[in-house]
Amino acid sequence: MSTISSVPQRTGCLWTVFGLRFHLAKLVFDHPTPIMMSKTSFALNNGLAIPAVGLGTWQSKPNEVNEAVKYALQNGYRHIDTALNYGNEKEVGEGIRASGVPREEIWVTTKLDNPWHKRVAEGFAKSMSDLDIGYIDLFLMHFPCSTDPEDSTKHLPDWDYVKTWQEMQKLLDMGKVKAIGVSNFQVRHLEKLLADPSCKVVPAVNQIELHPSNQSPKLLEFCSSKGIHCTAYSCLGGTAGSAINNSGTLLEEQAIVEVATAKGKTPQQVVLMWGLQRGTSIIPKSITPSRIAQNFELDGWALTSEEADKISGVTTRFKVVGDSWMPIKVFFGDDE
């Protein structure tokens, strides 16, 4: 178990290829032969490595997500992202088992839902039971928000995310989860958590919304300085046409289209590569086989630093996930 005192502080992003670790930016921009992005992983602060490319499953409909998971795993993916809140862990587990890929080759992330903050062990047990895959690789606190299970409009008066983390730390001793982390944590949440004497384990991962229209540079830098790896969610800009995605036009941004055209890639692929080259793992969601395959075609090419900068120059700003449905504010607009 990694503790605050024993975790080495990392200032740069480490990238693991065939067991060797490199500084990502140096590797990508200085290496004459582009690396196999789909096969690589990022080193975590507990000695494990998270596969760089995963399949997202939020809003994947029943009877679709099991097939999507199975297809992804049979076509090279080794990382699946789900959550109790998505209501699809049973189907995700079915897809994993049906894939025929050995369990130990797969990284599975799931998340504790807000109404379960005071019942961490039970929430974890429910995910374990629904997934039915023996163990969980990464268990995240979905939001820093402890919702009253009886009334979702109320925050629990006597319970916040620091207490939830205390309970999550205990899960590591049970041997059924390899790493614990957080999601949707802003700098102020992490500062409070890490400063609390009860915090013995630095979160391995902070899973946050990251795409060219929500780049969060301060949060990324803060996490890097504390040895916390970031996974980018809604890394394609979210589900186009969904009521909660107020843009849907990210992939039509001129800069992104120009880079994609120059590379002979799709706008989705260059946005995914941009995320990887920032040192974040990515978890694009799709239930469409051709798109699942396309999103994994990230080998043998890379963005030049000029191309990456051009995508970073996108000025349109939007967020896919907000906090208006939660009883407390989680996002503050200071780095989103």
Ligand X SMILES: NC(=O)c1ccc[n+]([C@@H]2O[C@H](COP(=O)([O-])OP(=O)(O)OC[C@H]3O[C@@H](n4cnc5c(N)ncnc54)[C@H](OP(=O)(O)O)[C@@H]3O)[C@@H](O)[C@H]2O)c1
Residues catalogued as catalytic: 86
Stretch that binds ligand X, among 9-17, 20-28, 152-160, 228-236 (CB under 6 A): 228-236
Which CB sits closer to ligand X, 23 or 322?
Answer: 322
Residue type present at position 228: I
Residue type present at position 242: S
Q: Is 209 helix (H, G, I), strand (E, B) or coil?
A: strand
Stretch that binds ligand X, among 164-172, 277-285, 298-306, 324-332 (CB under 6 A): 277-285
Taking the complex as a whole, the smallest distance from the CB of residue 233 to ligand X amounts, in Å, to: 3
Among positions 287-306, residues that touch ligand X (CB under 6 A) are 287-288, 291, 294-295
Give the other-Cβ count within 10 Å of 266's Cβ.
Answer: 18
Q: Is 76 helix (H, G, I), strand (E, B) or coil?
A: coil
Taking the complex as a whole, the smallest distance from the CB of residue 206 to ligand X amounts, in Å, to: 10
- Give phi and psi for 167, each to the nearest 5: -70, -35
Q: Does 133 bind ligand X (CB under 6 A)?
A: no
Question: Has 142 been labeled as part of a binding site?
Answer: yes
CA-CA distance, 53 to 93, in Å (whole number)?
Answer: 19
Instruction: Give residue number: closest CB to ligand X.
Output: 56
Which of 108, 161, 286, 314 lies at the binding interface for ligand X (CB under 6 A)?
286
Smallest CA-to-CA distance from 334 within 223, 209, 216 is with 216
Q: Does 233 bind ligand X (CB under 6 A)?
A: yes
Q: Is 313 helix (H, G, I), strand (E, B) or coil?
A: coil
Cβ atoms of 229 and 283 closer than 8 Å: no
The site that binds ligand X (CB under 6 A) totals a number of residues, namely: 29
Contact pattern from residue 3 through residue 42 relative to ligand X, giving x for each residue in contact according to CB under 6 A and a dash for the rest: ----------------------------------------
Give the other-Cβ count within 10 Å of 300's Cβ.
Answer: 11
Stretch that binds ligand X, among 29-37, 119-127, 130-138, 284-292 (CB under 6 A): 284-292
CA-CA distance, 309 to 213, in Å (whole number)?
Answer: 13
Spatial neighbors of 191 by CB under 8 A, at least 6 apart, are: none
Q: Does 271 bind ligand X (CB under 6 A)?
A: no
Cβ atoms of 327 and 147 closer than 8 Å: yes
Q: Does 259 bind ligand X (CB under 6 A)?
A: no
Which CB sits closer to ligand X, 27 or 232?
Answer: 232
Cα-based angle 73, 21, 141 (whole degrees, multiple of 5): 55
Which of 40, 66, 110, 183 lies at the binding interface for ligand X (CB under 6 A)?
183
Q: Does 184 bind ligand X (CB under 6 A)?
A: yes
Q: Is 212 helix (H, G, I), strand (E, B) or coil?
A: coil
Q: Does 320 bind ligand X (CB under 6 A)?
A: yes
Residue type present at position 113: D
Among positions 55-114, residues that touch ligand X (CB under 6 A) are 56-59, 81
Smallest CA-to-CA distance from 37 within 260, 296, 285 is with 296
Q: Does 275 bind ligand X (CB under 6 A)?
A: no
Stretch that binds ligand X, among 90-98, 124-132, 170-178, 232-240 (CB under 6 A): 232-240
> In terms of DSSP bridges, do strands 55-56 and 79-81 run parallel, antiparallel, or are they unpaired?
parallel
Annotated binding site for substrate: 142
The residues binding ligand X (CB under 6 A) are 56-59, 81, 142, 183-184, 207, 233-240, 268, 283-288, 291, 294-295, 320-321
